Amino acid sequence: MKRINRITTRTLFAALLAVLLCALTACAPEASLSKEEIEALREEYPDSAEHPPMMSMRDYTFAERVSQNDTFVYVEITGEPQFYSIDLRSGVDEKPMEKGETVDSSRVAKFEYPAKVIRDTNGIFEGGEAITISSPLLFFDYTPSFQAGDRIVAGVMKDEYKETRYQFSARCAYYVTEDEHVLSCFKELEGDEKTGLTVDGLFDEARTAKK
């Protein structure tokens, strides 16, 4: 009888230890991608330093990008880009348009992607919330061509005129791989790279920079 009790105790202890190890493993942060892994993924997830000609654009640090945006949001693109124009002075009087269409000088052309929120750094959104992420049409050819099902992280600012619309820039956006690692859509400043982190790792960096 005593022998059975000793075996039962050892078995119970081993089971508890296994549960503890599993819990610790689950809580441990996922490793960042190696330099070699990043290089291999860049063919599928290219970065770019290009911008519209005759436009001077300085590079911002990650901390500056965080301060310029309301939150960093992880989304799934749900459709094709849509094009529209708004009155330059009022920001309203929205009209749909075609990509190559010329607009009056009193209007500004923009594009946007429909997206479904997964999560964000500051808890602004609910998971599953439908939004659009918008940018001036001037930058369309310098922004990755996202497809329905693609997942990205982007720094966004709330649009002043439309409740579900948020402004974004490819210079503050990251592709997300199937295992939730991020690769920048833009050329990062040396020493300030976030490429290779997990989505949660990038979010932690953004929250730290926000403090």
Residue ranges in the chain modelled with pLDDT below 50: 1-4, 6-7, 11-15, 17-28
Closest CA to 159 of 210, 105, 84, 104: 84
Give residue 128's region: left, alpha or beta (phi > 0; psi -120 to 50).
left
* pLDDT of res. 187: 95
CA distances from 192 to 33, 61, 140, 156 (A): 16, 7, 25, 20
- Percentages of the chain per state (helix, strand, coil), in multiples of 5: 25, 30, 45
How many helices (H) and strands (E) in the chain? 4, 8
Distance (Å, rounded) from C-alpha 90 to C-alpha 107? Answer: 10
* pLDDT of res. 40: 98
* pLDDT of res. 25: 41
pTM above the 0.75 mark? yes
* pLDDT of res. 54: 72
* pLDDT of res. 17: 47
Concatenating the DSSP letter of every residue in 64-95 gives HHHHHSSEEEEEEE-S--EEEEEETTTS---E
Sequence spans of domains, the chain: 1-30, 32-210
Distance (Å, rounded) from C-alpha 159 to C-alpha 8? Answer: 63
32-210 CATH fold? OB fold (Dihydrolipoamide Acetyltransferase, E2P) (2.40.50)
